[in-house]
Amino acid sequence: MLIKKPSDIHPDEVTDYALYRERRKFISAGIGLAGAAIFPTAAAKAAATRLEFTHPGQFDTREEKTELEKITHYNNFYEFGTDKYSPASKAQALTTDPWSVSIEGEVEKPFVLYLEDILKKFPLEERIYRLRCVERWSMVIPWTGFQLSELIKLARPTSKAKYVEFETLYRPEEMVGQRRRVLDWPYVEGLRMDEAMHPLTLIAVGLYGEILPKQNGAPLRLVVPWKYGFKSIKSIVKIRFTEQQPVSSWSKAAPREYGFYSNVNPEVDHPRWSQRRERRIGDFLKRKTLMFNGYAEQVASLYSGMDLKKFY
């Protein structure tokens, strides 16, 4: 399969933002016809879920991978319920085709990427990463995706771009959790530019070699393995480059509990519990929490000289 590098992409191959808005009107009108489509065969469905990727291995943890059943049935996705089990069923109502991501803010020219184009433009890799949630549970997940830095290079941010802000889809008719004001919807997260450019930072489109399940953030989610899981925003529809630090959803809702950085740090407790230990899903005993979730060697230099208790 021939895959272009972002540097090979001509500006004419991405959609201008003004044209995108008109195209969205057309797509919205056509969504109602989707239910009349003929269902594909089981073999065709299976083929459509597989992804082509390389497995470089240089970023992988050597720990045992968490079972697929556990990864896909124990999820934080408040758009589909505040418990861990509802997303597996309720997320199936989400329409993920068509899907597009608008690139906005401090960039040379705003544009839109469609999912089918994203899968063609960016070479996919498998990365086996630890995922550590603020609730003190963890998993080891084989993600399939591409480095966020490749998309940032394509976006050509201006010198004013100091942060990257991400926004989740807002569609309460399908995302039933958005019908309750648990958070200020739509969900928003952000990274400092150097964090976003780090080679560990991934845009995931799949796991275990197949397309991303809806309850895990389909069709596009962020994965930042040295931060608590809520930073890895799901079902992304907007990426905005900003000069000012974004106000993330959980920081807005509970600033004492959820800071902007939210790096995994056993020395900085959540106000209501210790973060020194965690339970790997499927294990009985707890284990020690690793600084930066075990990625200190790769990312500690990003925070050199910072007070990590102040900038939690």
Angle at 203 between CA 230 and CA 104, to 5 degrees: 90
What is the domain partition of the chain in residue ranges?
Answer: 41-252
Give this prediction's pTM: 0.86
Q: Report the 10 Å Cβ neighbour count for 84.
A: 16
DSSP 157: B
Report residue 109 as tokens. Answer: 């020219």
Q: Work out the widest C-alpha separation in the chain, in whole angstroms.
A: 59
Instruction: State the Cα–Cα distance between residues 312 and 257, nearest whole angstrom.
Output: 9
Instruction: State the Cα–Cα distance between residues 180 and 83, nearest whole angstrom.
Output: 14
**pLDDT of the residue at 49:** 76
Q: How far is CA 122 from CA 38, 97, 109, 158, in A?
A: 30, 19, 20, 22
Report the CATH superfamily, name and number, of domain 41-252: Oxidoreductase, molybdopterin-binding domain (3.90.420.10)
DSSP 50: B
Written as tens digits, the pLDDT of the chain (312 aa) is 334 444 444 444 455 545 544 544 434 433 333 333 323 344 444 445 789 999 999 999 999 999 999 999 999 999 999 999 999 999 999 999 999 999 999 999 999 999 999 999 999 999 999 999 999 999 999 999 999 999 999 999 999 999 999 999 999 999 999 999 999 999 999 999 999 999 999 999 999 999 999 999 999 999 999 999 999 999 999 999 999 999 999 999 999 999 999 999 999 999 999 999 999 999 999 999 999 999 999 999 999 999 999 999
